[in-house]
Amino acid sequence: MMQPSELRESELHLIVDDDLRHMQEFTIDEDYPDSEHDEMNTVRVSIVNDKEIIAYMEAFIFYENRIDDLVIYADGVSGDAHEAMYALSQNGLLEPFDPDSDSVDDMFDSLFDNEIVHLHYIAVREEYRKQGFGGWLIRNLPRILLRNYGVTPRLISTTICPQDIDWDRWDKTRPTFSPPNDDCDSPDNKAMFVLMEKMFQKNGYHKLGDSEHYYTKPSRT
């Protein structure tokens, strides 16, 4: 396993990419993609060491004020995003801002755009695990979104569901994910679930009831 002392900071850098920035197809029926008008964007964040992606995160930005029903809309994006939005809704966390409310939290929400972010994928190459890369991505996602997209989400959700990764295709590019083929109750999947659960809870995420969905409210400071 690679040790932290073997990594030089000068060789580590961050790449932030997204769908809207690189859409270049032209159709007469659609306007050019614009983050000020689109309902969502997909953001990809990679930690790179010597031109090789060693840790990866993918998240959906939902521009809530442009979507009539976020739960229904998310159903067309991904299954885990839909289930997470449903869980948030069932727990009253997607309630719109009430202008007559005296809540300090509601007052702050009214001062910012009300984007909802769903963290879809996160992965660290096996030889770089247990060095803090996953936790760093989770903690810094709000800062990355603010710096690159001007987004301060009022909620970030995620679904803890260990995915199979095609290691042969993860070669200096972003990983390829697929649902686990093994029994979800297999020792490997259980161990990974516990590891991910601890990592998210350590970084301020709260479990939604008895589900596999978690959420956090990023600090406004």
Is the pLDDT higher at 113 or at 155? Answer: 155
- The amino acid at 114: N
List the beta bridge partners of residue 90. Answer: none
- Would you say residue 8 has pLDDT above 90? no
- Would you say residue 36 has pLDDT above 70? no
- CATH code assigned at 120: 3.40.630.30
The upper half-sphere exposure of residue 43, i.e. CA atoms within 13 Å in the direction of its Cβ, equals: 25
List the beta bridge partners of residue 63. Answer: 115
Which whole-number Å values give the CA distances from 51 to 15, 184, 214, in the listed order?
11, 34, 32
Total number of domains in the chain: 1
Q: Give domain status of residue 63, yes or no.
A: yes
Q: How confident is the model at residue 19 (pLDDT cuts 50, 70, 90)?
A: confident
User: What confidence score (pLDDT) does residue 171 get?
Assistant: 67
Q: Give domain status of residue 91, yes or no.
A: yes
Token output for 54: 């060693």
- Would you say residue 178 has pLDDT above 60? yes
- Would you say residue 96 has pLDDT above 90? no
Residues listed for the chain: 221
Give how far the C-alpha of residue 151 lies from the chain's centroid of Cα atoms, to the nearest Å.
Answer: 13
Spell out the alpha helix ranges (H) of 2-160.
19-22, 70-75, 79-90, 104-110, 133-149
pLDDT of 60-80, one tens digit each? Answer: 999 998 899 999 999 999 999
Q: Give domain status of residue 221, yes or no.
A: no
Euclidean distance between CA atoms 151 and 114, whole angstroms: 9
Spell out the alpha helix ranges (H) of 76-174.
79-90, 104-110, 133-149
The upper half-sphere exposure of residue 138, i.e. CA atoms within 13 Å in the direction of its Cβ, equals: 25
- Would you say residue 210 has pLDDT above 60? yes
pTM for this predicted structure:
0.82
Euclidean distance between CA atoms 143 and 151, whole angstroms: 9
Euclidean distance between CA atoms 109 and 35, whole angstroms: 20
What's the distance, Cα to Cα, between the start and end of the chain in Å? 37
Domain range spanning residue 117? 4-216
Euclidean distance between CA atoms 31 and 91, whole angstroms: 36
Q: Give domain status of residue 85, yes or no.
A: yes
- Would you say residue 88 has pLDDT above 80? yes
Q: Give domain status of residue 55, yes or no.
A: yes
Q: Are 4 and 131 in contact (CB under 8 A)?
A: yes
Mean pLDDT calculated for residue range 143-155: 92
Q: How confident is the model at residue 1 (pLDDT cuts 50, 70, 90)?
A: very low
